[in-house]
Amino acid sequence: MSRDETRAEPTPTYTMGYGPEFRKMLERRNAADCAAHLLPHLEPGMRLLDLGCGPGTISVGLADAVAPGALHGVDMEETQIEMARAAAAAGGHANATFQTGDATALPFEDASFDVVHCHALLNHAPDTAAVLAEMRRVLKPGGLVSAREVIGDSSLFEPALAIGGTGRDAAWGTFLTLLRANGGHPQMGKELKGALVAAGFTDIRAGASFESYNSADDLAFLNGLITGWYFAPRTMEAAIAHGVASEAQFDGWRRSLEQWMSEPGAFAAFAWGEAIGRKP
Ligand SMILES: C[S@@+](CC[C@H](N)C(=O)[O-])C[C@H]1O[C@@H](n2cnc3c(N)ncnc32)[C@H](O)[C@@H]1O
């Protein structure tokens, strides 16, 4: 990792980390699926900021939607910015530029953008109000704010077994507890409307959608993600250190995942809340 491990991080403990397993999850994302609530509002020539852009898989689709306008992607993590630059170069998205930065102290002048968007950032950034205040500051008056975040308690694993469910005995519930212990906001998707009101935005439209895992390929991907990321030492050690799970629980969940995968009715869906609003 090229990051200087000694410098203060804007989001002190980012739960998901930057390993290859979770990156595969981000690589499945695109603007059509993840920014469907925003795309109808985008026009050629707009200046758009994608905050917490990660490896840029959503950003490049947003860049297309505003071309020949400019897409700026910002993320606190240099490795993600390098991947986003590579994705933009490979796809010929010449109007997309990426730079490192902190969502609570953006490197842009006031009123720089027509649209400021984030996807799966507010779930992780501890100070929601500080991020939204920065999003508002860099927006032009009348500009559009947009966010899409997970709703932990409305996401589902069927049959629940020990994998799904929101209690501390379930793998998913314990993940949400870990996210909260790291300063994150596991229910942010359903809190977006209130958060945008509190931040002074108007004309707010909120909605919700599911990301479904149904086919054998989808379920195999999910199995690989849970095994390779959640059951990996980095995540397990963090959960155990925070006292939100024990090694014995992880062993049990590992066995339950195998059982869950063999269920003919196995189905999972992550719930997302999305909202747009205007800077008055
Ligand atoms: C779950 S990833 C989402 C990436 C991308 N938006 C997507 O949905 O595919 C969250 C990203 O937010 C970034 N992030 C978290 N806190 C941040 C902060 N305070 N400032 C800038 N980026 C931040 C992380 O580095 C990470 O790349």
What are the pLDDT digits (tens) for 199-213? 999 999 999 999 999
CA of 264 to the centre of ligand 1 (A): 35
pTM of structure: 0.95
Q: Where are the domains of the chain?
A: 20-278
Q: Which of 33, 76, 98, 134 to mutate to test the pocket of ligand 1 (most atoms within 8 A of CB)?
A: 76
CA distance 34 to 119: 8
Name the DSSP letter for residue 157: E
CB neighbourhood size of 230 (10 A): 22
Report the CATH superfamily, name and number, of domain 20-278.
Answer: Vaccinia Virus protein VP39 (3.40.50.150)
45 sits in the region (left: phi over 0; alpha: psi -120 to 50; else beta) called: left
Structure-block tokens of residue 141: 């008056």
The pLDDT, as a whole number, for residue 4 is 38
Kindly report the backbone phi and psi dihedral angles of residue 53, in degrees, each rounded to the nearest multiple of 5, phi listed first.
-70, -15
Mind listing the pLDDT tens digit for each residue in 68-95? 999 999 999 999 999 999 999 999 999 9
Q: Say if residues 18 and 10 touch (Cβ distance below 8 Å).
A: no
CA distance 189 to 133: 18
The pLDDT, as a whole number, for residue 6 is 38
- Rounded average pLDDT over 178-201: 97
Pairing of strands 267-278, 156-158: antiparallel
The pLDDT, as a whole number, for residue 3 is 36
- Rounded average pLDDT over 247-272: 96
Calculate what percentage of the chain has a pLDDT beyond 90: 94
CA of 146 to the centre of ligand 1 (A): 15
Please indicate whether residue 54, judged by its CB atom, sits closer than 6 Å to ligand 1.
yes
Structure-block tokens of residue 168: 């501390």
Integer angstrom CA distances of residue 125 from 16, 73, 264, 275:
12, 17, 37, 17
Please indicate whether residue 190, judged by its CB atom, sits closer than 6 Å to ligand 1.
no
